[in-house]
Structure 1
Amino acid sequence: MSDLTVASTAREMAAAVRRRDISARELLDLHLDRIAERNPQLNAIVSLDEERARAGAAEADRALASGAEVGPLHGLPFAFKDTHAVAGWRTTYGSVLYADHVPDRDDLLVERVRRAGVVTIGKTNVPEFAAGSHTFNRVFGTTLNPVDPTRSAGGSSGGAACALASGMVPLADGSDMGGSLRNPASFCGVVGLRPSLGRVPEWPLYNQWETTSVGGPMARNVGDLALLLSVLAGPDPRAPQALGDPGSAFAPPLDGSLAGLRVALSVDLGGAFEVDDEVAAVVASAASIFDDVADAHPVLTEADDTFRTLRAWHFQARFGRLLAEHPDAFKQSLADNIRAGEGLTGADVARAYAQRTALSERMREFFESYDVLVLPVSQVPPFPADQEFPASINGRPMETYLDWMRAAYLITVTGCPAISVPFGHTTDGLPVGIQLVAAHGRDRFLLDVASAVESAVG
């Protein structure tokens, strides 16, 4: 009898299923028991279908018994982010407009994960159309933090991070525009990677040349995250901007060391944003694990305007017509963000792309002097779940639902890979992650560094 629990690593679970130490059905039962225990309070998993999940687990066991070749995630229970279309499964995007929507095809990311052998159990909760780093919507309600259920689990991959941290699933997928893989990872004490642009190809998209949002992996540890990235990454002819490295290049085991690393550490990128004092203290304490640390940062002056311009343009292009037809179906902050795109000119968008090009070049030059940049993931610890966003940080007002996310979204527009790794806690015991950033394309190197940081933390 296997001694696996829902706290075991995804790699241990997958290996045990392949050895037939545990069946996919038994592994599913472990997770369904945990879902029954925690999900009624936390609301992380939505559109759960136990009957279909059991049928999928039985089929996974039959395939293994037949001697068929199986994928690296064979038999692992999996709930996809509710913004990723799963053929035949309810996919709402967190919107009342899609409350009963059932897609007829998989997104590319879903296609790859299903091909790797997972047992689909349902979806993970998201904010409306994944807008905002707090997970609530009018279809399913609010996802709560597993460490302190009075607090936010973050977003937009908040359901995914909460489900991971509470043992409901062993791995999770997500997406990240302004921090949606990194912020909930920090809030829930798990690991979330925003990969380099092109690392995880996406299809279908309304605009294959719009590259602000990317898909990516989440896990409870860096090794498990690398396993999922090895499934998600790699080129596809439907995604013309995909990077060419095969997914296998990111598979564990990882071989990281902190020795000799040239590290730049900044708690606020030179005053680019306000940071909660306790969060700043955790990030500053990271200096103790590195040998060569400088108080340094890239100059990202144009990044705020670049991100906000491209986000508004993107939102108006995607949702402008829907908002005009259904003005009461959108939360106010999202409606305002969409309408902000209506007044943009071609010159505004051109300026944003020119700035983004300059930011990318500046980061390339910065990483000639440093190997990794360390900064906060989120500027605050998990905030009360009954707030849409923090009203202030250290007494400084946050005027919009984006203001407190600068630590994440200023990195977004550089195109560089960035990972959130658990590093400490506030005095109230709330998780705080640190954000590690590397040069574009150096995702494997970043995983190795993150694994070494994880080992140093213990």
Structure 2
Amino acid sequence: MPPADDLCFRTAYELTVALARREVSAREVMTAHLERIERVNPTVNAIVTLDADRALERAAEADERLATGQPVGPLHGLPVAHKDLHDTAGLRTTYGSPIFADHVPDRDHLVVQRLRRAGALTLGKTNVPELGLGSHTVNPVFGATRNPYDLSRSAGGSSGGAGAALACGMQPIADGSDTGGSLRNPASFNNVVGLRPSPGRVPSWPDRVPWGQLSVKGPMARTVADVALTMSVLAGPDPRDPRSLDTPGSTFAWQLGGDVAGLRVAWSPDLGGAVPVDPEVRDALAPAVEVFTALGCEVEEACPDLSGADEVFLAQRAWQVELAYGALLDGHRDRLAPDVVWNIEEGRALSGPDLGRAQALHGALFHRVRVFFETYDLLVLPVSQVAPFDIGLAYPTVVDGTPMETYLDWMRSAYLISVTGCPALSVPAGFTPRGLPVGLQVVGPHRQDWSVLKAGHAFERATRAGERRPPVLADLGVPA
């Protein structure tokens, strides 16, 4: 058997090949990851509900299927902990809320169904903010997830547990969700990769807002290729989601190699001055322009006109939060965080004309962005306006001298992209002088998810920033 630490940092592709060739067993892979969790998770707090015994049983069953010649899926034998917003039948799902601290669903979310059908083996759940609201993973049930690059810093959110678990080798792939940056921000903060797919690319069920375009499900991993592998099983139509696109997930199983020379890349360090960005983030991302130029791309500073995007996001998000959690406010106000209460009440304050105006602005925004991408193939910009911040803060209150009035304001570089409906990838890009990760956001035209992955893969190979492992491993005596 290979050393456990070797197994924990192999890519998902490498593990699937080794498992298929029976060079390593699913039980060995699962045992290695459970040992890593045992050693590292008490310090980082990324995995919040662990189902170790059942995970080992699932691994033994996976080995038996392969040994007896039964068909296996493309993720056969890969350990995965699901986001604690995604229902898992028979396994506690709390949504980070004390109201649901003992909740055990009786069905799997569609994302979980697809991962399991593809052969992935559930080992537990990853931490989230309360009800998944915000990009800082802390809640009253499990506490905060710490950033493995600096334990005094936030791991981001809302898929913060997933991001930290990936960075530490606790799982090779992860599922997540993204409304205002919840796949991209924790990827940036933890030096891993996160994809916000096009709306409908990854179907969602059950879903309280089945026609909504703001929230999507998607994958995270340590490499772009592993994100694409995970997309190959998550994507594809499902009749239970009216938004789902017809393109089969198998299209994401293609190899990502290829030339990106000649691509027209728009670089925007601050969305044309629309968002403040801390200087240390700007400095860490400045070399990205040179990387794309060296890859043969034509790079110039430009950004689409995002007028009205703030109003669209804030209105649609508030309406969505009220729809999802309004009943909790009526019955459990005293058990909800102040920011949750505020966002629900913002939704209740919306009028019909407010929502109608947001819809009109959204339509106009779509067409401006569509026209922008007739000139450019990609838009690249910061994922987050700040590097990982102090874990004791609820959220950054000032960014480059500009006050942040709410828990959403500091995420504008991500949520303004959400409302465009474009696919967006967070890929490791560099580090601050203090060694904190910074991610680059790669945005493509509507429904051009593959183009975004291909460009991110080329950038990843050129920089290799994602290969830098978190210091917490060395501090705990875990080889990386």
Q: TM-score range by the shorter chain?
A: over 0.9
Partner of 1:156: 158
Structure 1 match to 2:368: 362
Q: Please name the residue that 1:411 is paired with.
A: 417
Give the counterpart letter for 1:311 in structure 2.
R
Equivalent position of 2:442 in the other structure: 436
> Which of 387, 394, 400 in structure 2 is aligned with 1:394?
400
1:233 paired residue number: 235
In the other structure, the counterpart of 1:253 is 255
Taking the aligned partners of 2:239 and 2:441, their CA distance within structure 1 comes to 32
Task: State the distance in 1 between where 2:307 and 2:286 align.
Answer: 22
Which residue is equivalent to 1:95? 97
Note the 1:57-456 alignment, pairs <5 A. 57-291=59-293, 292-456=298-462
Unmatched segments (≥5 aa) in structure 2? 465-480
- 1:40-94 per-position Cα deviation (integer Å, ceiling 9, x unaligned): 0100001101111111111111111110000011111110000001111111111
Q: Larger deviation: 244-253 or 131-140?
A: 244-253
Paired with 1:94 and 1:348, the residues of 2 have a C-alpha distance of: 30
Question: What's the CA shift for 1:252?
Answer: 4.1
- Cα deviation, 1:158-197, whole Å, max 9, x if unaligned, reads 0000000000000000000000000000000000000011
State whether residues 237 and 244 of structure 2, in contact with CA within 8 Å, keep that contact through their aligned partners in structure 1: yes
Give yes or no for contact 2:209–2:320 (8 Å, CA) kept in 1: no
Structure 2 distance, partners of 1:94, 1:384, is 20
1:28 offset after TM fit, Å?
0.7
Amino acid at match of 2:313: F
Q: Aligned letter for 2:56? A: R
User: Which amino acid in 1 is paired with 2:113?
Assistant: E
Aligned amino acid, residue 288 of structure 1: E
Query: In angstroms, what is the RMSD of aligned CA positions?
Result: 1.0
Aligned residue in 2 for 1:46: 48
| Partners of 2:345 and 2:220 in 1: CA distance | 32
Q: CA deviation at 1:278?
A: 1.1
In the alignment, the residues of structure 2 paired with residue 281 and residue 118 of structure 1 have an alpha-carbon distance, to the nearest angstrom, of 39
Q: Is the 8 A contact 1:258 1:453 kept in 2?
A: no
Aligned 8 A contact 2:396 2:410 in 1: yes
Q: Which 10-residue stretch deviates more, 344-353 or 248-257?
A: 248-257
Aligned residues: 458
Structure 1's unaligned 5+ residue stretches are none
Give the match for residue 477 of structure 2: none
| Contact 2:431-2:438 within 8 A present in 1 as well | yes
Q: For residue 455 of structure 1, report the CA deviation from its aligned partner.
A: 1.0
Shift of 1:322: 1.0
**Cα shift readout 1:214-267 (whole Å, capped 9, x = no counterpart):** 000000000011000111000011111111110010114212433101010011
Structure 1 residue 317 displacement after superposition:
1.1
- Contact residue 94 and residue 102 of structure 2 kept, 8 A: yes
TM-score (structure 2 length as normaliser): 0.94
Sequence identity of aligned pairs in percent? 58
Deviation at 1:344, TM superposition (A): 0.5
Q: Which portions of structure 1, spanning 4 or more consecutive aligned residues, are displaced by more than 4 angstroms? A: none
Q: Are 1:153 and 1:382, in contact at CA under 8 Å, matched by a contact in 2? A: yes
Deviations 1:11-39 (A, max 9, x none): 11111111111111110111011101110
* Distance of 1:418 and 1:256 partners within structure 2: 20
Q: 1:422 is aligned with what amino acid? A: P
Q: Is the 8 A contact 2:292 2:459 kept in 1?
A: no
Question: 2:470 corresponds to which residue?
Answer: none
- 2:220 is paired with a residue whose SS is strand
Deviation of 1:352 (Å): 0.9
Q: Is the 8 A contact 1:263 1:371 kept in 2?
A: yes
* Cα distance in 1 between the residues matched to 2:304 and 2:179: 20
Could you tell me whether the CA contact under 8 Å between 1:256 and 1:451 is conserved in 2?
Answer: no
Alpha-carbon distance between aligned partners in 2 of 1:285 and 1:298, rounded to the nearest angstrom = 22
Q: CA deviation at 1:157?
A: 0.1
Structure 1 window deviating more from structure 2 (329-338 vs 368-377): it is 329-338
